[in-house]
A = this chain, B = another copy of it.
Amino acid sequence: MRVVLKIGGSLIQDEKGNIRVERLAEYAKVILKLRKENTEVLCIIVGGGKTARKYIEAARKLKAVESLCDEIGIRAAQLNAQIMIGALNKEAYPTIPETLQEVAKAAATGKIVLVGGLQPGQSTNAVAALIAERLNVDILINATDVEGVYTKDPKKDPGAKKLSKITVNELQEIINETGFFAGKYKLFDPVALKILERSKIPTWIINGEDPKNVLRIIAGEKIGTLIVY
Protein backbone atom coordinates (compact mmCIF):
# COMPACT_ATOMS: atom_id res chain seq x y z
CA MET A 1 0.00 0.00 0.00
CA ARG A 2 1.19 3.50 -0.90
CA VAL A 3 0.41 6.20 1.64
CA VAL A 4 0.68 9.96 2.06
CA LEU A 5 0.52 11.22 5.65
CA LYS A 6 -0.35 14.73 6.82
CA ILE A 7 0.67 15.63 10.40
CA GLY A 8 -0.89 18.81 11.77
CA GLY A 9 1.45 21.40 13.25
CA SER A 10 -0.31 21.31 16.62
CA LEU A 11 0.67 17.66 16.97
CA ILE A 12 4.34 18.60 16.65
CA GLN A 13 4.50 21.73 18.81
CA ASP A 14 2.61 22.67 21.97
CA GLU A 15 0.98 26.05 22.47
CA LYS A 16 4.25 27.56 23.73
CA GLY A 17 6.05 26.40 20.62
CA ASN A 18 7.97 23.61 22.35
CA ILE A 19 8.63 20.63 20.14
CA ARG A 20 6.95 17.40 21.20
CA VAL A 21 10.09 15.35 20.81
CA GLU A 22 8.70 12.11 22.16
CA ARG A 23 5.72 12.14 19.84
CA LEU A 24 8.00 12.80 16.88
CA ALA A 25 10.22 9.94 17.95
CA GLU A 26 7.19 7.69 18.06
CA TYR A 27 6.04 8.85 14.64
CA ALA A 28 9.47 7.95 13.32
CA LYS A 29 9.18 4.51 14.86
CA VAL A 30 5.70 3.96 13.38
CA ILE A 31 6.78 5.03 9.90
CA LEU A 32 9.94 2.92 9.88
CA LYS A 33 7.90 -0.07 11.08
CA LEU A 34 5.42 0.40 8.22
CA ARG A 35 8.30 0.69 5.78
CA LYS A 36 9.71 -2.63 6.91
CA GLU A 37 6.30 -4.20 6.44
CA ASN A 38 6.09 -2.90 2.86
CA THR A 39 3.66 -0.09 3.47
CA GLU A 40 5.33 2.73 1.59
CA VAL A 41 4.86 6.07 3.32
CA LEU A 42 5.92 8.07 0.27
CA CYS A 43 5.53 11.54 1.68
CA ILE A 44 4.82 13.22 5.02
CA ILE A 45 3.45 16.76 5.03
CA VAL A 46 3.82 18.60 8.34
CA GLY A 47 2.18 21.82 9.46
CA GLY A 48 3.87 24.96 10.74
CA GLY A 49 2.25 25.04 14.18
CA LYS A 50 3.00 27.66 16.79
CA THR A 51 6.31 28.75 15.18
CA ALA A 52 4.45 29.61 11.98
CA ARG A 53 1.82 31.62 13.83
CA LYS A 54 4.40 33.54 15.88
CA TYR A 55 6.52 34.53 12.88
CA ILE A 56 3.53 35.38 10.69
CA GLU A 57 2.21 37.63 13.44
CA ALA A 58 5.55 39.44 13.62
CA ALA A 59 5.74 39.72 9.83
CA ARG A 60 2.26 41.26 9.71
CA LYS A 61 3.27 43.85 12.29
CA LEU A 62 6.19 44.70 10.01
CA LYS A 63 3.68 45.11 7.18
CA ALA A 64 4.91 42.19 5.09
CA VAL A 65 2.60 41.38 2.19
CA GLU A 66 0.34 38.39 2.78
CA SER A 67 1.94 36.02 0.29
CA LEU A 68 5.28 36.61 2.01
CA CYS A 69 3.54 35.67 5.27
CA ASP A 70 2.47 32.45 3.54
CA GLU A 71 6.13 31.82 2.68
CA ILE A 72 7.07 32.39 6.31
CA GLY A 73 4.47 29.83 7.33
CA ILE A 74 5.96 27.38 4.82
CA ARG A 75 9.47 27.98 6.15
CA ALA A 76 8.26 27.34 9.70
CA ALA A 77 6.62 24.09 8.59
CA GLN A 78 9.90 23.14 6.89
CA LEU A 79 11.67 23.50 10.24
CA ASN A 80 9.26 20.92 11.63
CA ALA A 81 9.83 18.75 8.56
CA GLN A 82 13.60 18.97 8.95
CA ILE A 83 13.61 17.56 12.47
CA MET A 84 11.54 14.65 11.16
CA ILE A 85 14.31 14.10 8.58
CA GLY A 86 16.72 13.94 11.49
CA ALA A 87 14.56 11.37 13.25
CA LEU A 88 14.08 9.16 10.17
CA ASN A 89 17.79 9.40 9.31
CA LYS A 90 18.86 7.39 6.25
CA GLU A 91 15.32 6.43 5.28
CA ALA A 92 14.32 10.05 4.75
CA TYR A 93 14.94 12.00 1.56
CA PRO A 94 17.68 14.39 2.72
CA THR A 95 16.21 17.70 1.59
CA ILE A 96 12.76 19.30 1.54
CA PRO A 97 11.18 19.81 -1.90
CA GLU A 98 9.42 23.10 -2.60
CA THR A 99 7.33 22.35 -5.69
CA LEU A 100 5.03 19.48 -6.59
CA GLN A 101 7.44 18.44 -9.34
CA GLU A 102 10.34 18.27 -6.87
CA VAL A 103 8.18 16.16 -4.55
CA ALA A 104 7.55 13.74 -7.40
CA LYS A 105 11.26 13.59 -8.25
CA ALA A 106 12.21 13.04 -4.63
CA ALA A 107 9.61 10.28 -4.22
CA ALA A 108 11.05 8.55 -7.31
CA THR A 109 14.17 7.70 -5.27
CA GLY A 110 12.16 5.50 -2.90
CA LYS A 111 13.06 7.53 0.20
CA ILE A 112 10.43 9.04 2.53
CA VAL A 113 9.91 12.64 1.43
CA LEU A 114 9.25 15.31 4.07
CA VAL A 115 7.36 18.42 2.99
CA GLY A 116 6.32 21.56 4.85
CA GLY A 117 4.05 23.42 2.47
CA LEU A 118 4.81 24.23 -1.14
CA GLN A 119 3.65 27.56 -2.56
CA PRO A 120 1.84 30.58 -1.09
CA GLY A 121 -1.94 30.46 -1.44
CA GLN A 122 -2.16 26.73 -0.73
CA SER A 123 -3.02 25.23 2.67
CA THR A 124 -0.98 22.24 3.84
CA ASN A 125 -4.18 20.21 3.46
CA ALA A 126 -4.45 21.19 -0.19
CA VAL A 127 -0.77 20.35 -0.56
CA ALA A 128 -1.33 16.93 1.00
CA ALA A 129 -4.22 16.27 -1.38
CA LEU A 130 -2.19 17.40 -4.41
CA ILE A 131 0.76 15.22 -3.44
CA ALA A 132 -1.49 12.21 -2.79
CA GLU A 133 -3.00 12.74 -6.23
CA ARG A 134 0.32 13.31 -8.03
CA LEU A 135 1.95 10.25 -6.47
CA ASN A 136 -1.17 8.22 -7.19
CA VAL A 137 -1.28 6.73 -3.70
CA ASP A 138 -3.87 4.36 -2.28
CA ILE A 139 -4.66 6.37 0.82
CA LEU A 140 -4.20 9.77 2.42
CA ILE A 141 -4.09 9.92 6.22
CA ASN A 142 -4.75 13.27 7.83
CA ALA A 143 -3.55 13.20 11.43
CA THR A 144 -5.20 15.98 13.46
CA ASP A 145 -5.93 16.77 17.09
CA VAL A 146 -9.57 15.64 16.89
CA GLU A 147 -11.08 12.17 16.55
CA GLY A 148 -12.46 12.79 13.07
CA VAL A 149 -15.25 14.83 11.51
CA TYR A 150 -18.23 15.69 13.72
CA THR A 151 -21.77 16.72 12.83
CA LYS A 152 -21.19 19.87 14.84
CA ASP A 153 -18.30 21.51 16.63
CA PRO A 154 -17.60 18.98 19.42
CA LYS A 155 -15.98 21.62 21.59
CA LYS A 156 -19.15 23.68 21.69
CA ASP A 157 -21.95 21.20 21.22
CA PRO A 158 -22.23 18.10 23.43
CA GLY A 159 -24.64 16.56 20.92
CA ALA A 160 -21.98 16.53 18.20
CA LYS A 161 -21.56 13.06 16.74
CA LYS A 162 -18.44 11.71 15.13
CA LEU A 163 -19.07 10.40 11.64
CA SER A 164 -17.41 7.23 10.42
CA LYS A 165 -17.93 8.14 6.76
CA ILE A 166 -18.66 11.35 4.94
CA THR A 167 -18.87 12.53 1.34
CA VAL A 168 -17.05 15.64 0.09
CA ASN A 169 -20.40 17.38 -0.35
CA GLU A 170 -21.48 16.59 3.19
CA LEU A 171 -18.13 17.76 4.46
CA GLN A 172 -18.54 21.01 2.54
CA GLU A 173 -21.97 21.51 4.08
CA ILE A 174 -20.74 20.94 7.62
CA ILE A 175 -17.97 23.44 6.98
CA ASN A 176 -20.48 26.00 5.72
CA GLU A 177 -22.92 25.41 8.58
CA THR A 178 -20.82 25.06 11.65
CA GLY A 179 -18.01 27.34 10.76
CA PHE A 180 -16.09 24.45 12.23
CA PHE A 181 -13.35 25.09 9.75
CA ALA A 182 -13.49 28.81 10.09
CA GLY A 183 -9.77 29.14 10.72
CA LYS A 184 -7.79 29.99 7.70
CA TYR A 185 -6.54 26.65 6.59
CA LYS A 186 -8.17 24.30 9.08
CA LEU A 187 -8.81 20.65 8.18
CA PHE A 188 -9.93 21.15 4.61
CA ASP A 189 -10.26 24.24 2.49
CA PRO A 190 -12.21 24.32 -0.80
CA VAL A 191 -9.12 23.60 -2.90
CA ALA A 192 -8.27 20.51 -0.88
CA LEU A 193 -11.86 19.29 -1.16
CA LYS A 194 -11.91 19.87 -4.91
CA ILE A 195 -8.74 17.85 -5.38
CA LEU A 196 -9.99 15.01 -3.21
CA GLU A 197 -13.20 14.95 -5.16
CA ARG A 198 -11.66 14.96 -8.61
CA SER A 199 -9.21 12.18 -7.75
CA LYS A 200 -11.33 10.20 -5.31
CA ILE A 201 -8.42 9.49 -3.00
CA PRO A 202 -9.57 7.48 0.03
CA THR A 203 -8.83 9.90 2.90
CA TRP A 204 -8.88 9.20 6.63
CA ILE A 205 -9.13 11.95 9.21
CA ILE A 206 -7.78 10.55 12.45
CA ASN A 207 -6.56 11.64 15.84
CA GLY A 208 -2.78 11.84 15.48
CA GLU A 209 -2.05 12.49 19.16
CA ASP A 210 -1.39 8.78 19.30
CA PRO A 211 0.92 8.00 16.34
CA LYS A 212 -0.09 4.34 16.60
CA ASN A 213 -3.45 5.32 15.14
CA VAL A 214 -1.64 5.40 11.80
CA LEU A 215 -0.82 1.72 12.25
CA ARG A 216 -4.43 1.04 13.16
CA ILE A 217 -5.71 2.62 9.96
CA ILE A 218 -3.27 0.63 7.87
CA ALA A 219 -4.31 -2.53 9.73
CA GLY A 220 -7.91 -1.85 8.70
CA GLU A 221 -9.37 -0.60 11.99
CA LYS A 222 -12.30 1.77 11.64
CA ILE A 223 -11.19 4.76 13.68
CA GLY A 224 -11.61 8.39 12.63
CA THR A 225 -13.64 9.44 9.61
CA LEU A 226 -13.31 8.21 6.03
CA ILE A 227 -14.07 10.53 3.14
CA VAL A 228 -15.97 8.56 0.50
CA TYR A 229 -16.94 9.40 -3.10
Partner of A59, one of B83, B109, B119: B83
Whether A58 contacts B21 by the Cβ 8 Å rule is yes
Interface residues on A, range: 35 or more
Partner of A130, one of B18, B67, B99, B101: B67
Q: Does A179 contact B (CB under 8 A)?
A: no
Whether B108 contacts A111 by the Cβ 8 Å rule is yes
Segment of A85-93, A141-149, A221-229 engaged in the interface with chain B: A85-93
Nearest B residue to A111 via CB reads B108
Q: Does A72 contact B (CB under 8 A)?
A: yes
Whether B94 contacts A108 by the Cβ 8 Å rule is yes
Q: Which residues of B contact A105 (CB under 8 A)?
A: 93-95, 106
A interface: dominant SS: helix
Copy total for this chain: 6
Task: Determine the distance from Cα of A101 to Cα of B118 in the docked complex, in whole angstroms.
Answer: 11
CB proximity of A42 to chain B, nearest CB, Å = 11
Whether A54 contacts B98 by the Cβ 8 Å rule is no
CB proximity of A76 to chain B, nearest CB, Å = 6
CB proximity of A201 to chain B, nearest CB, Å = 10
Q: Does A64 contact B (CB under 8 A)?
A: yes
Task: Determine the distance from Cα of A89 to Cα of B62 in the docked complex, in whole angstroms.
Answer: 9
Q: Does A100 contact B (CB under 8 A)?
A: yes
A-B contact pairs, 5 of them (CB 8 A): A25-B61, A62-B86, A67-B130, A94-B101, A121-B126
Closest 9 pairs between A and B when the two form their complex, measured CB to CB: A64-B86, A94-B104, A19-B58, A62-B87, A67-B134, A59-B86, A95-B101, A21-B61, A59-B83
Task: Determine the distance from Cα of A31 to Cα of B175 in the docked complex, in whole angstroms.
Answer: 44
Chain A, 38-73, CB within 8 A of any chain B CB: 51, 54-55, 58-59, 61-69, 71-72
Q: Which residues of B contact A136 (CB under 8 A)?
A: 65, 89-90
Q: Does A165 contact B (CB under 8 A)?
A: no
Q: Which residues of B contact A83 (CB under 8 A)?
A: 55, 58-59, 62, 64, 72
Q: Which residues of B contact A58 (CB under 8 A)?
A: 19, 21, 24, 83
